[in-house]
A = this chain, B = another copy of it.
Amino acid sequence: MRDVGAVWLDGDRCRFRVWAPSTAHVDLQLLSPDERTVPMEKQGRGYHQVTLDDVQPGTTYRYRLDAREAFADPASGHQPDGVHGSSAVMERHFPWSDETWHGIPIETFVIYELHTGTFTPEGTFDAIVPRLDGLAGIGITAIELMPVAQFAGERNWGYDGVYPFAVQNSYGGPQKLKRLVNECHRRGLAVILDVVYNHLGPEGNDLPRFGPYFTDRYRTPWGPAINFDDEQSDEVRHYFLQNALYWVTEFHIDALRLDAVHAILDHSAETFLEELAAALHARGTLLNRRIYAIAESALNDTRLIRPPELGGYGLDAQWNDDFHHSLHTLLTKESGGYYVDFGRFQHMAQAFSEGYVYAGRFSVTRQRRHGNSSRDIPPAKFVVFAQNHDQIGNRMMGERLSRLVTLEQYKLASGAVLLSPFVPLLFMGDEYAEPAPFQYFVSHSEPDLIEAVRRGRKEEFSEFEWKGEPPDPQDEATFLRSKLQYELRDEPPHRVMLDFHRQLIHLRRTIPSLCGLNKSNMDVLSLDDEQVLIVRRWEASNEIAAILNFNEKPVTLKDRIPANRWRKRLDSADRQWLGPGSRLPLEVMPHTDIVVGAASVVLLENHAEG
């Protein structure tokens, strides 16, 4: 059981517990339905606690520190009035119906990243539910929610959360999140939650009033670092560990996506990340559920994803931005900002064959050598994508890939992701080539902060080649503009794209060679002159060849793939997919010329012996 925040014991008993090591005395101020002040008892390790026998769900409260100011609970589960309001005791129960759910293997994840606020017109958890069948129907197996921890206002990507335990009130709060998870599990969908353990948002962060949650030992892009290795860091780590376990235990979350772990600065002998991975896995064992920890990391350091026996932190997977950057630059020819480090065909080939592209080589962006070799890392430990919230939203105008490349290239990108040996991730709307942008938006209430965010946003793009000014992050129109136009799914050409993605995922999930994500069962042939990648994979008697042609012209391959009898399972150039037409027969005989259309992806499967 969680040991911070307001926790239900039996009946109406509720225990309030807060860490405030330098505070001599904390009072629990109950505000509604009845107003009263209850002194808390100081316990070991700087905790203050009191248990009340007659608490009602929804009771609002604050903690008063040393008889002075009162603040909301750092471990508040619900902030019904937002970051500046009081905390509320959550509902006692939720009618879970997922007793038979034990999670799904990460190898089978087809991830769909979504932002609750812009996924639907309503922008709530409830509004997601009616769309789950459709997602499951195209083969999505895991929903990834961008952060839901309480942030200032009603519009935010989620990375400005300041109450890590509280579920955003405008999304529907904790009870509605539980409902969403339950509905996902009913449909066999896993739920990944994006959690931010590297900083807190700039508005409404009262944690420093309670204790040394931050340290000035390190500098991060967001100010002082969270205290993971300085004095009193044990309880700070405990707070975030409890948070991780809270999501998997109380919300039945299946995996955590750990935001920007490179900004978790920690020189401990036992790092926070390895402690976190171990705690999550242990909890999974206890709950008899598969629980995963997936890092977003810019470190290109296999230490994160190697098992503890080999000196690793034991995280299950990490996002591989290098795959994205290689793919994106190859298709768009963009070279501004961090794209300067990419753009060569060989980068894409290396991303396929090894994982990291920067595995010790000099990075112009970083002005130093970067990364170590991931050659021996199983592909199932890398999450790849043709785009994600960051890669879209961190563009000045937030354009999606569908606006930047041709339809042929767009299909090629999806094929590269979904036929890869890695764990694929789609960003909401990818499946039907949503044209709406995903822009950067906030809804702060402090004028100086609003101005600072606007200014920061402008400065951010000075190094890119884009002209003009970014949209105003504070303007509600920016948020509204970023909402999906989900009804487009039913209209051509979006409907065709939806079918194309459904078909890709169907192939991935049904062809044996595409299911196993083993390094030993694959081979990447890179034809530099032709700009063609041939990814061969096999499993028992089954074998496939995925041919990715990044050339702007059709390419004819002679004897570059084994002289099997092949069946064509997919050609993105098919008219069926609005292409110029496939130039491959359904059955490919040995030594036949294989013609792959410009910017096309072809999937061949070996012909059954019979």
Contact = CB atoms under 8 A, between A and B. Distances in A.
A230 B262 CA distance: 13
Interface in A268-314: 268-270, 299-303, 306, 309-312
Contact of A218 (B219, B270, B370): B219
Interface string A458-477: 00000000000000000000
Interface in A343-389: 360, 362, 366-372
A370 B311 contact: no
Given A269-B371, A310-B310, 14 more contacts: A218-B219, A230-B368, A231-B366, A231-B368, A232-B367, A233-B368, A234-B368, A262-B267, A265-B267, A268-B301, A269-B372, A270-B360, A270-B371, A310-B311
B232 A368 contact: yes
A269 B362 contact: no
A216 interface: yes
Contacts of A113: none
Contact of A299 (B230, B269, B299, B368): B269
24 contacts: A216-B219, A217-B219, A229-B368, A230-B368, A231-B366, A231-B367, A231-B368, A232-B367, A232-B368, A233-B368, A262-B267, A265-B267, A268-B299, A268-B301, A269-B299, A269-B300, A269-B301, A269-B360, A270-B371, A270-B372, A306-B311, A309-B310, A310-B311, A311-B312
Contact of A302 (B268, B269, B371): B269
Contact of A234 (B232, B303, B369): B369
Nearest to A366: B231
Interface in A223-246: 229-234
A315 to B, nearest CB: 13
Q: Which 6 A-B pairs have the closest CB atoms?
A: A311-B311, A269-B301, A231-B367, A269-B372, A269-B371, A233-B368
Interface string A48-88: 00000000000000000000000000000000000000000
- A interface, by DSSP: helix, strand, loop or mixed? loop
A337 to B, nearest CB: 15
Contacts of A367: 231-232
A486 B421 CA distance: 70
A233 B363 CA distance: 12
A260 B501 CA distance: 55
Contacts of A299: 267-269
A216 B219 CA distance: 8
Nearest to A306: B311
A238 to B, nearest CB: 10
A218 B219 CA distance: 6
Most buried by B among A231, A302, A362: A231
Interface in A563-580: none
A200 to B, nearest CB: 20
Contacts of A306: 311
Contacts of A366: 231
Nearest to A236: B368
A362 B234 CA distance: 9
